[in-house]
Amino acid sequence: MPYDSILRGLKLCIEEIRDPGTQPELNYSFIDTASRTWALARIKAFQQSGFGGELAFETNTGTGTPSDTTTERMRIDHKGNVGIGKTNPGFMLDVNGVINATEIYRNGAPLSTSQWTTVAAGIHYSGGNVGIGTTQPSAKLNLDPKGAGGIVIGNPNTGSGGFTSLASASARQAEVTPHYNPSRHQVQRGET
């Protein structure tokens, strides 16, 4: 980039040192005056085994004072894996952090999202039936408690009641126990 009359501008410096311990790099620096410059970004190359290579992309965090300190933000390894916030990516795209996207595709098709949404009072399901213990729910809420334990609604461990227990003793019999208060009535057993 051309410099103006007071020597301000950008400088690109290619450093290639024939030292196995030092990697070649491209340095992008800003020149404010003849005596004040600082690094904006760097691209470094790393040698890998088998004559492979990696590239690391670094930027200056901008601490408020001129500095040549840069931090690695992205790396492309010798396998073609890209790491953002990772120096050893294990996948084609490996991100350490939150990803924001307008759309995400998997094998050419949009990635489906959850039918559950978060609302002020908890979660909400917007369509279809919900099955617990079954993959083919036949009602809005289909509970199929296979094995011991049955279904408990409420908290039986509070000592103040307020729960209903549905426990299957056989294929045709269920136990229903509504507890409103320990000092009040109970219905212990009924036929299904």
pLDDT digits 0-9 by tens, 67-119: 888 999 999 999 999 999 999 999 999 999 999 988 888 888 888 777 778 88
**Phi then psi for 118, rounded to 5 degrees?**
-85, 130
| Confidence band of 147 (pLDDT split at 50, 70, 90) | low
Whether 70 and 42 have beta carbons less than 8 Å apart is answered as: yes
Minimum mean pLDDT among 100-104, 129-133, 170-174: which range? 170-174
Task: For residues 8-24, give the mean pLDDT.
Answer: 63
Taking the C-alpha atoms of residue 150 and residue 131, their distance in angstroms, rounded to an integer, is 15
In this predicted structure, what is the pLDDT of residue 80?
95
Higher per-residue pLDDT: 165 or 53: 53
Taking the C-alpha atoms of residue 171 and residue 130, their distance in angstroms, rounded to an integer, is 23
The pairs formed by 130-133 with CB atoms below 8 angstroms and a separation of 24 or more are none
Higher per-residue pLDDT: 46 or 90: 90
Residue 150 predicted with pLDDT over 90 = no
In this predicted structure, what is the pLDDT of residue 20?
56
| Confidence band of 38 (pLDDT split at 50, 70, 90) | confident
Write down the pTM of the prediction: 0.55
Buried b (16+ CB within 10 A) or exposed e, 74-85: bbebeeebbbee
